[in-house]
Amino acid sequence: MKFSLAALFLVCLSLAVCGQTKVPQFKHYPSTENFSGKNAPVIIGKNEKTFRTRLREASKEKPNFAGRYILTAWGCGAECLMGAVIDAKTGRVYWWNFTICCAANFAADFKPIEFRLNSRLIVFSGLRNEEGENGAHFYKFENGRFVFIKTVKDKNPRSAGQNRKSV
């Protein structure tokens, strides 16, 4: 998933943060490793059993996040997404500990989850667990954990309930 310049511009306008708040950038969180070997089989423990089919299918893909990980997400409701990261080298699964939903429809190419192969930064846009602040939530993936960096609140009152895009 790529974050287009047009989408970034619209997000900045909607969030009213351009020039006012320093927004984390993918280039500031480079991945330290690239994996190009054969993927390890995904490790299915008790937490993964419910989603084993989705995880097994995703584990066959090439890494798409932080050099050696496969980020995968699936629906958990009308506008809700949940997911995990699979280490292609070891097969270990790392879950993010919330769902993401209700992201405002900023542009046609808007994605509620933004990430890069060459970066440990991940941006979840919308509400975490369908509550709290609506906005862009920045995390870095470090030592198998999603470490919160900051939230940039959505300043657009229309996005609070009317202008949603189905995911």
> Using one digit for the tens of pLDDT, what is the confidence trace for 86-140?
999 999 999 999 999 876 555 666 788 999 999 999 999 989 998 888 889 999 9
Residue 69 resides in a domain: yes
Asked if residue 165 belongs to a domain, the reply is no
Q: Which domain holds residue 36?
A: 5-160
Confidence of residue 160 (pLDDT cuts 50, 70, 90): very low
Task: Evaluate whether residue 167 is within a structural domain.
Answer: no
Distances 53 to 57, 60, 120, 140, 152 between C-alpha atoms, Å:
6, 11, 26, 27, 34
Confidence of residue 156 (pLDDT cuts 50, 70, 90): low
Q: Could you report the per-residue pLDDT of 65-80, keeping only the tens digit for each?
A: 999 999 999 988 777 8
Question: Residue 112 domain-assigned?
Answer: yes
In a domain, 128, yes or no: yes
| Residue 77 maps to a domain | yes
| Domains identified in the chain, total number | 1
Least Cα distance to 120 among 33, 4, 20 occurs for 33
pLDDT classification of 161: cutoffs 50, 70, 90: very low
